Chain A
Amino acid sequence: MSTQTDETQTISPVASEPSRFRPSTRGWAIRLVVIALLAVVTVWRVATVQPLWADHISLAAIFAIIGLSLNIVLGYTGQVSLGHHAFVGLGAFIAAHHITERAGCAPEEGCIESSLGTFSVAILLAILSGVISAGLLGMVALRIKGLYLALITLTYGFVAVNSIFEISSLTRGGAGMPAPRPATFFSDHKYMVLCLGLLGVCMFIDWRFLRSKMGRAVLAVKSSEAVAASYAVNVTAYKLMAFMLSGAFAGLAGALFAFRRQIVVAPDFSFSTALLWVLMVVVGGLGSRLGVVIGSMFFALFPFLIQLVGFLNDFLANTLQRDPEELTLVIGPFLALLTMIQFPGGIAEQISPITRWLGGDRFTMHPEGKHHKPSLLQRRRAKKQGLEVHDDAELVATKSEDLLRDAAGEPDAASTQTMAAVDSSEEVKS
């Protein structure tokens, strides 16, 4: 321990941030060349893609936005939403309804292209619908300690499917609500560019969200609500804001979903889809923007990718006589379970050596310094301090989080519900 005291006694003369590893000029040059090469190849491949695949890529971008939306709930706030099919579906129907019924651009009246203005308004309305429904549900669910958001959103999802999506003035029943695209984005190619562009916007917002006061506050809340409050974070408000941002992304994804097919039918949004969306975020890597985008795109494109593999496609079509999409429902959960049990961190962690290197770090397969096993004495000291020592990590204060909860008065699971009562009464008082 004495070494540590020495450490704390060292006072650096100037208060400047300690320098991190930065690559040399040549190092930067190599990285830039690789990034540029990747970018050029991607842009070239995407720009020259067949219309059919442009449509597939649009779907992939929409899935990625949904993935980012769920990542905010699951990865940042540590809750689960099982009703995202309802948020996305509501957004889709609201957007389509605005174009067809309110702006009067119905295909039966010969209107094939909507105007850019109504199109934009439709998208904004869809986003708003997501924000509002997320806000209303969150106001109830996020007040209660525990994972009740999962339960309430699941129930809301069923209400949406059985009730809201059955309102014929909103959905035109089984025939579906048409949603014509505007001329600007009419071809599948142009529409793909729009979807990818909006995915870029969402990624930017997600990045700034995490790197500003909102993200820090939300991560603190996830870690411990008592600690977050002690840093002056309004716990309920920030949970709610995060969930509303998630709703906004979901609503946007819904609108894009509507205009992709140019018609919305209720069966597009089933609860099993919502569950699959949750799992694609897990496979991508909770909390990792790039991982989530890759994971979501993989789940969206999986049925089409299978068709590219000749023998697999033959086997499915002729021997099993099954649709590749049906296979997603088996492979997806399997991958998710495998991720959780064997590879926590998901795709993001698997590719992290490369992404970290591109971002200007050293290339290492063990970014967290996990190759350093703690020395004998380090282990002894850690034991004395009541910390747990993991074989593959350095010294990890595993217990501190549990202890934190006790210390902070967040009770153990057993008394969670009574505390919830205490909490809600507090909110009322304030």
Chain B
Amino acid sequence: MANRWISTLTKKDVTPEASFLNRRQIMAGALAGAGLSSIAGGLHAAPDGLEPNSYEDITQYNNYYEFGTGKSDPAENAHTLTTTPWSVEIAGLVDKPATYAMQDIIDAMTIEERIYRFRCVEAWSMVVPWNGFELADLLNLAGVQSGAKYVAFETAFRPDEMPGVKYPVLEWPYVEALRLDEAMHPLTLMATGIYGKPIPNQNGAPLRLVVPWKYGYKSIKSIVRITLTDTQPPTSWNKANPGEYGFYSNVNPDVSHPRWSQASERPIGGGLFAGRQPTLMFNGYEDEVAGLYAGLDLVANP
């Protein structure tokens, strides 16, 4: 069931590490677009002009509050997280509830590259070349029972390894959830790598969710438990502030968050003068996912 969705962002293979250029250096070195394209030939150039952020941007600018609330805290602190051995408990309304060893999951899955836009609720965005497999494949491995309607996820909770959980910024452990049809959608990815390398701890090693049409906090990191349920599970940010964070959390420029207008976003990695760009409905994946929400009032169900 892998490869059901092919990225329109790139057709190229993973670029060799040596040819990654820091985007800021490219911007500094190229005065005109022509100059940029000639220099950037080795990058993941996309037909529509989108190109992935640098490995440095993606791995040094993270929200992972278990390791601190600063954007650089996860990169500084997450090295303490033990990711091998790792296992994921799949429970609830499945045929084969079990604790699956990470290696067994990897062996059963087909890893592919997906270049996705990534949009944070804080109104910044990146483009990330993930490696991973479709969540649907993992759920099918466990066998989803007919009564299941939702999929709940839980992040590891390890006070000894996670300095941030000392503080009650959120209720720990971090939890997230999707409707089953969202979880089974071919865009919904379980990421195990970035730029062809094992996913760094600060990005949610060894296994994280990526739902590219939803705000970043839905894409829960370092997953230890997946539970199929028939009732809507609680989600961390919704619990913390239901007025600001809904269950769906679809990227929607027309539904504004009380603290951040979602109409536009700042692309990260372009330096001090990168400016803003308009935010796209469903983060640019409207054609693929709008059908999931036919008949649903997106304003009343943020």
- A and B interact physically: no
Binding site for B on A (CB under 8 A): none
Binding site for A on B (CB under 8 A): none
